[in-house]
């Protein structure tokens, strides 16, 4: 991109729990994702993009702020996202953008905007401290909200679910807002449309289920018995009850069938938004970014959901397409903290000055890679400080190697290019002794695991105390209630209906 080009609109479409492995764009021959495929075909596909924490809220807070979770205390799904942390929405506003969030971002705390001009839907999950884990009781299951195998066992068909209701609403209001931008405003906009699918429960509508035949659904390629797992994976397996509740092949196949169907459902929403931008006459001015907050193991290694740093859980799709974006594939490891500086570079292409950063960020701009240029950086950093562990878990992906470490566990080292299923732990391989030691030394330099653990436990105690008081009625709920004044919508007695008809019609006659 060169200076002098007008600021592009940015439409970022986020899935929840979508591993890139389960999309046609990334080479899956079973899963049907024609709309994501089309964007990848005309844009840049990032083949080694990672979340910075494989859990919903921490990943999203990191993504919005461009900072790792340990810097902003975004430890788990009940960690507060403080209003004092700048996000890309704040910075884009200072660069002349209108900003809108439609859908999920799992903000926890009284600030439910975080720089967006407007939110057009509520969130789907609680905004309070209800989901706070207890690292002093790491083996305790919180049955009210912990995952278990019942979700897999109950996978199948449904005409309606809370997730379908929600995503239909997210798409509807996002499309309406895009047309309002086209009707009324000349300034560029950033729209974030964030969907809950294909996150479990694995329940799909018939129309999407019928895209797949049961015999076409592949089974997990690499499965371990509970005793074969590394220490952290075994704790996750115990926590989700996968080590004690057996699944039949039919149950696994049905869950994967429903997940694939819901990936296609999410892809249809991508198609709806792309079509809306096209109908609004904005295709030549709009950059699309497709991504997710984390992936889903979907039975690989015998694990389900996320909460670990194996490829199906920690990697995310990342596709960019639009004006100035080259056509191709970028193999450099990168992560969601890189989205903020990338957006700012997109917004500054017309010469607009970027605002001073309110806090140091951990990400780098992916604009050179998006433009088809080289990037000397090949790194992604991950941290996990949530349920089913009692100590922080760290990941470093650099080049072809991925290193995973947690105090008390044996380290893991994989060459994910030569061994994409991560079947061979190289940490004790003499041929990789120098690399393993270098990673171990880097982990010790980057993080003070004991200090971070103490900070996590301290915030957990604070939040549990406040949540107990809120449960007793000590505060108003923080859940977002979108403002709406129906008395001023459509046609009312204080207006000429012909004027209203002309105002709503697009394009104008």
What's the start-to-end Cα distance of the chain, in Å? 34
Check 35, 68, 106, 199 and give the catalytic one.
106
Of 40, 27, 36, 62, nearest in space to 328 by CA: 40
Phi then psi for residue 341, to 5 deg, are -65, -30
| pLDDT above 70 (res 5) | no
In the predicted model, what is the mean pLDDT of the chain? 95
427 or 226, higher pLDDT: 427
For the beta carbon of residue 55, count every other beta carbon within 10 angstroms. Answer: 25
Each residue's pLDDT tens digit, 72-117? 999 999 999 999 999 999 999 999 999 999 999 999 999 999 999 9
Asked whether the beta carbons of 23 and 33 are under 8 A apart, the reply is yes
Asked whether the beta carbons of 54 and 309 are under 8 A apart, the reply is yes
Average pLDDT of span 121-141: 90
Phi then psi for residue 157, to 5 deg, are -95, 150
Asked whether the beta carbons of 206 and 160 are under 8 A apart, the reply is no
d(CA 174, CA 169): 8
Q: What is the pLDDT of residue 291?
A: 98
pLDDT band at 4, cuts 50/70/90?
very low
Per the listing, tokens 């083949």 go with 47
For the beta carbon of residue 3, count every other beta carbon within 10 angstroms. Answer: 9
DSSP, res 39:
H
> Read out DSSP for 161-203?
-HHHHHHHHHHHHHHHHHHHHHHH--S-EEEEEEEEEESSS-E
Strand, coil or helix: 365:
coil
DSSP, res 210:
T
Asked whether the beta carbons of 347 and 99 are under 8 A apart, the reply is no
Rounded to two decimals, the pTM is 0.96
Each residue's pLDDT tens digit, 198-255? 999 999 999 999 999 999 999 999 999 888 999 999 999 999 999 999 999 999 999 9
Check 21, 35, 56, 197 and give the catalytic one.
56
Asked whether the beta carbons of 293 and 14 are under 8 A apart, the reply is yes
| pLDDT above 50 (res 171) | yes
Each residue's pLDDT tens digit, 197-212? 999 999 999 999 999 9
CB contact set of 322 (below 8 Å; sequence gap of 6+): 8, 43, 286, 287, 288
pLDDT band at 3, cuts 50/70/90?
very low
Q: Please, which residues bridge with residue 188 across strands?
A: none
d(CA 347, CA 367): 11
Domains of the chain: residue spans and CATH: 9-380 (3.40.720.10)
Q: What is the pLDDT of residue 145?
A: 66
Asked whether the beta carbons of 467 and 131 are under 8 A apart, the reply is no
| pLDDT above 50 (res 164) | yes
**Residue 270: Cβ-neighbour burial (10 angstroms; 0-12, 13-18, 19+):** buried
Each residue's pLDDT tens digit, 451-497? 999 999 999 999 999 999 988 988 889 999 999 889 888 888 888 87
Each residue's pLDDT tens digit, 340-396? 999 999 999 999 999 999 999 999 999 999 999 999 999 999 999 999 999 999 999
How large a percentage of the chain has pLDDT more than 90? 88
> Read out DSSP for 211-276?
TS-GGGPPPPS----GGGS-HHHHHHHHHTTTTTS---HHHHHHHHHHHHHHHHHHHHHHHHHHHH
DSSP, res 437:
H
Report CA dihedral (144, 147, 149, 155) to the nearest 10 degrees: 100
Three-state secondary structure along 299-347? CHHHCCCCCCCCHHHHECCEEEECCCCCCEEECCCEEHHHHHHHHHHHH
68 is catalytic: no
Q: What is the pLDDT of residue 212?
A: 98
DSSP, res 486:
G
| pLDDT above 50 (res 1) | no
Sort strands 49-50 and 334-335 into parallel, antiparallel or unpaired.
parallel
Each residue's pLDDT tens digit, 390-401? 999 999 999 999
H/E element holding 490? none
106 is catalytic: yes
Average pLDDT of span 446-452: 98
d(CA 262, CA 268): 10
Q: What is the pLDDT of residue 454?
A: 98
Of 292, 315, 291, nearest in space to 49 by CA: 315
Of 251, 228, 409, 248, nearest in space to 301 by CA: 228
Q: Please, which residues bridge with residue 44 across strands?
A: 320, 328
Of 311, 283, 285, 284, nearest in space to 297 by CA: 311
CA 31 from centroid of its chain's CA atoms? 19
d(CA 184, CA 270): 24
Q: What is the CA radius of gyration of the chain?
A: 23
Of 121, 299, 328, nearest in space to 202 by CA: 299
DSSP, res 125:
S
Asked whether the beta carbons of 114 and 87 are under 8 A apart, the reply is yes
Strand, coil or helix: 503:
helix
DSSP, res 402:
E
């Amino acid at each position: 991109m060169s200076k002098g080009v007008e600021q592009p609109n940015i439409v970022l479409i986020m899935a929840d729990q979508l591993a890139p492995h389960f999309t046609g764009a990334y080479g899956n021959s079973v899963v049907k994702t024609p709309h994501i495929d089309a964007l990848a075909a005309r844009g840049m596909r990032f083949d080694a993009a990672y979340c910075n924490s494989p859990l919903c809220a921490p990943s999203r807070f990191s993504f919005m702020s461009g900072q790792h979770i340990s810097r902003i205390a975004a430890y788990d799904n009940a960690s507060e996202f403080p209003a004092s942390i700048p996000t890309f929405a704040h910075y884009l506003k200072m660069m002349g953008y209108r900003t809108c969030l439609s859908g999920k971002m799992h903000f926890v705390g009284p600030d439910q905007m975080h720089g967006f001009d407007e939110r057009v839907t509520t969130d789907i999950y609680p905004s309070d401290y209800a989901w706070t884990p207890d690292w002093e009781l790491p083996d305790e299951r919180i049955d009210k909200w912990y995952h278990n195998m019942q979700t897999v066992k109950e996978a199948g068909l449904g005409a309606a679910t809370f997730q379908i209701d929600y995503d239909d609403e997210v798409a509807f209001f996002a499309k309406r807002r895009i047309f309002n931008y086209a009707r009324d405003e000349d300034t560029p906009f950033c729209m974030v449309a964030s969907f809950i699918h294909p996150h479990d429960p694995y329940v799909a509508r018939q129309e999407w289920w019928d895209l797949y035949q049961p015999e076409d659904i592949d089974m997990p390629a690499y499965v371990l018995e509970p005793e074969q797992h590394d220490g952290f994976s075994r704790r996750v397996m115990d926590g989700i009850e996968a080590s004690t509740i057996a699944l039949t092949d039919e149950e696994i196949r049905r869950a994967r069938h429903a997940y694939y169907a819901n990936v296609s459902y999410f892809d249809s929403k991508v198609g709806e938004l792309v079509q809306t931008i096209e109908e609004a006459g904005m295709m030549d001015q709009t950059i699309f970014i497709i991504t997710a907050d984390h992936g889903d193991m979907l039975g690989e290694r015998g694990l389900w959901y996320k909460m670990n740093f194996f490829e199906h859980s920690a990697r995310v799709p990342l596709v960019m397409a639009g004006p100035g974006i080259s056509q191709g594939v970028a193999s450099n490891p990168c992560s969601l903290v890189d989205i903020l500086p990338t957006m700012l570079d997109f917004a500054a292409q017309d010469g607009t000055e970027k605002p001073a950063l309110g806090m140091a960020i951990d990400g780098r701009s992916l604009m050179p890679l998006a433009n088809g240029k080289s990037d000397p950086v090949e790194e992604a950093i991950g941290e996990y400080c949530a349920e089913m562990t009692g100590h922080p878990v760290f990941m470093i992906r650099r080049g072809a190697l991925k290193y995973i470490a947690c105090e008390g566990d044996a380290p893991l080292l994989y060459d994910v290019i030569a061994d994409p299923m991560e079947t061979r732990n190289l940490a004790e391989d003499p041929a990789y002794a120098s690399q393993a030691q270098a990673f171990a030394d880097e982990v010790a330099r980057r993080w003070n695991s004991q200090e971070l653990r103490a900070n996590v436990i301290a915030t957990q105690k604070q939040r549990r105390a406040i949540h107990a008081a809120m449960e007793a009625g000590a505060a108003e709920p923080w859940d977002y209630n979108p403002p709406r004044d129906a008395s001023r919508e459509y046609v009312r007695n204080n207006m000429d209906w012909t004027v209203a008809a002309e105002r709503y019609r697009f394009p104008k006659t």
